[in-house]
Amino acid sequence: MERSASRQSRKKVVAVVGGGLVGALNACFFAKRGFDVELFESREDIRRAKIVKGRSINLALSHRGRQALKHVGLEEKIVAQGIPMHARMIHSLDGKQSPIPYGRKGQYILSVDRANLNKELLTAAETYPNTKMNFDHKLQDWNAETGLMTFVRLDGSKEQVKADLIVGCDGAFSAVRKQFLRRSRFDYSQTYIPHGYMELTMPPINGEFAMKPNYLHIWPRNTFMMIALPNLDKTFTCTLFMPFEDFEKITTGDEVIEFFQKYFPDTIPLIGADTLQRDYFRLPAQAMVSVKCNPYHIGDTCVLMGDAAHAVVPFYGQGMNAGFEDCIVFDEIMDQFNEDFRAVLPEYTRVRVPDDHAIADLAMYNYIEMRAHVNSKWFIFRKYVDNILHFFMPKTIIPLYTMVTFTRTRYHEAVKRWHWQNKVINRGLLLSAVGAVLGGSYLLIKNPPDINKLIVSAEKMWDRLVALRTL
Ligand code: FAD
Ligand code: EGU
């Protein structure tokens, strides 16, 4: 059966494939412009579903994501349902907790519930009279020449739909992207990292949060890391990141407790030993993939956004934020080029690819950095240095995470600026070192020490060195 989605209207038909976070938001953006929007989502309507399977339970929403929500009038509503996190709380192995602020008072990120955010976005998209939601529609294939899409339903039936523009928001394993892969001069790379993640719930204690709620809790342990974000129901969702091979080494409840006793002892009484042993085996660890590609469009008929265009590893908390920012960037270009897809799509690729690639690289860089040598002491030290330098030179030195999290500085420009700042800092350090040597020499020449005293102390020094060697 063929159905033409193009109704008798002046406006073009935009098919948004994927009703996840970015797809649902994008439906709002296109509907606001007056397009006839058809959203296709493979799952059933999550607002009606009893069990929602899927990825992480909560996410960190920051400035870029909020700006995108603001464009469609949703910022206030979503922020009201989020929990502000003003600082990280670093948990050392000995149980000590150290807060490190994200910035000034107004600089905080929000912990938001993924399922709730998705529901709100779908409801918002639906309130436009020019949107139509099609759940239980899984894109099977589409034709890049004709723009004809084939969807399969749960009952096995197929449906063919045509649209003027196909917007691929169908996530990291995008079916829309498959047609790109068959084309010449399409760059594509995909990398699975050796780590997996597992989510564990920390219940409330006596009806209250088990830890301080307005923080992003972090347990940095080099190759192992755990992060916890607060939920409105006073639980925390803890996400354990660990190499798959280590996940597989733990096969019994006793081994789970032994492992947590060694690396995250403070969390055992909070999660509860029984819950921990049960939840650890409830679901296998999930994989994380990084995807980069270029271009993001085919002609004037198809464009990729969100994870479909750029899946990033979660070590900067930017995946959704970057996907939401994609929508703003596209919208701005639509204004510039009068909604002429032939001009808008190539411009979107030109502008957005360098930035999405930059955040993909940054997230991967941070993953490698954290795994290599970030324990709690190092993390605290590094963030302190960042904040102190920023305090004394607020115009010159802006921490990278600040530019990424609290501004809309283009990601690739944030990286460039970061390299420049590192040069300035290194020069500063080098200059101080040279200054110390020169200054010291000058003082020595001006006030030469008694040579005999020097020799004696040199002898002492030698004795000490010998003593050290024989220790
Ligand atoms: P998805 O959310 O994957 O949605 C894709 C949608 O398309 C789904 O609904 C799917 O059912 C549908 N679909 C798939 N295939 C088809 C098809 N063939 N036909 C029709 N529909 C289809 N980001 C942040 O900003 N902050 C964080 O703190 C953060 N933490 C994270 C923690 C973890 C552990 C992980 C894994 C990710 C995290 N992210 C975070 C990233 C974030 O989850 C993603 O970037 C975001 O979900 C991308 O949204 P999306 O709509 O592009 O894709
Ligand atoms: C990972 C998984 C702390 C949610 C990166 C910081 C993350 C989040 C950090 C997850 C870290 C790491 C930053 C934010 C955020 C930090 C950030 C990571 C939210 C550099 C639900 N990261 N995340 N950086 O600075 O900029 O606090 O699953 F541990 S929020 Cl890995 Cl700001």
pLDDT tens digits for range 160-193: 999 999 999 999 999 999 999 999 999 999 999 9
Which of 401, 405, 407 to mutate to test ligand 2, by most ligand atoms within 8 A of the CB atom? 401
Q: Which residues line ligand 2 (CB under 6 A)?
A: 56, 58-60, 88, 109, 216, 218, 227, 229, 239, 314-317, 366, 370, 401, 404-405
pLDDT higher at 433 or 237: 237
pTM value is 0.91
- Residue 340 alpha carbon to ligand 2 centre in Å: 38
pLDDT band at 6 (very low <50, low <70, confident <90, very high): very low
Mean pLDDT for the chain overall: 92
Q: What local confidence, expressed as pLDDT, does residue 106 receive?
A: 84
Q: What local confidence, expressed as pLDDT, does residue 1 receive?
A: 43
pLDDT value at 218 more than 80: yes
Q: What local confidence, expressed as pLDDT, does residue 172 receive?
A: 98
Total residues found in the chain within this entry: 471
Q: Which CATH architecture has domain 13-86+106-190+290-370?
A: 3-Layer(bba) Sandwich (3.50)
User: Hey, whose CA ends up nearest to atom 46 of ligand 1?
Assistant: 320
Q: What local confidence, expressed as pLDDT, does residue 104 receive?
A: 83
pLDDT value at 98 more than 80: yes
- Residue 56 alpha carbon to ligand 1 centre in Å: 9
Q: What local confidence, expressed as pLDDT, does residue 468 receive?
A: 65
pLDDT band at 373 (very low <50, low <70, confident <90, very high): confident
Which of 85, 202, 316, 371 to mutate to test ligand 2, by most ligand atoms within 8 A of the CB atom? 316
Task: State mean pLDDT over 328-355.
Answer: 98
Counting beta carbons within 10 angstroms of the beta carbon of residue 327, is it exposed (0 to 12), middle (13 to 18) or buried (19 or more)? buried
User: Hey, whose CA ends up nearest to atom 4 of ligand 2?
Assistant: 317
